[in-house]
Chain A
Amino acid sequence: MDRRFKPGDKVRVIQRSQPGHVRTPMYVRGKAGVIERVVGSFPNPETLAYGQSGLPYKILYRVNFMQKELWDDYEGKPDDSLEIEIYEHWLEAN
Chain B
Amino acid sequence: MNENTHDHTHATHTHDGKPIQNDDRPPIEAETLETAVRELLIDKGVISAEEIHREIEMKDGKGPELGAKIVARAWVDEEFKTRLLTDGDSAVLDFGIDMRPTELCVVENTDEVHNMVVCTLCSCYPRAILGIPPAWYKRRDYRARAVREPRSILSEFGTVIPEHKQVRVHDSNADLRYLVLPQRPAGTENLNEEELAELVSRDSMIGVSDIPS
Contact = CB atoms under 8 A, between A and B. Distances in A.
Contacts of A71: 148
A2 interface: no
A79 B112 CA distance: 11
Interface residues of B, number: 21
A87 to B, nearest CB: 7
Interface of A: 23-25, 27, 39-40, 42, 45, 60, 62, 67, 70-71, 75-77, 79-87
A19 to B, nearest CB: 14
B171 A84 contact: yes
Contact of B171 (A42, A60, A79, A82): A82
Interface string B150-188: 111000000000010011111101111000000000000
Contacts of A25: 120-121, 171, 173
B147 interface: yes
Contacts of B166: 77, 79-81
Nearest to A21: B121
A77 B174 contact: no
Contacts of A79: 166
B108 interface: no
Contacts of B167: 76-77, 80-81
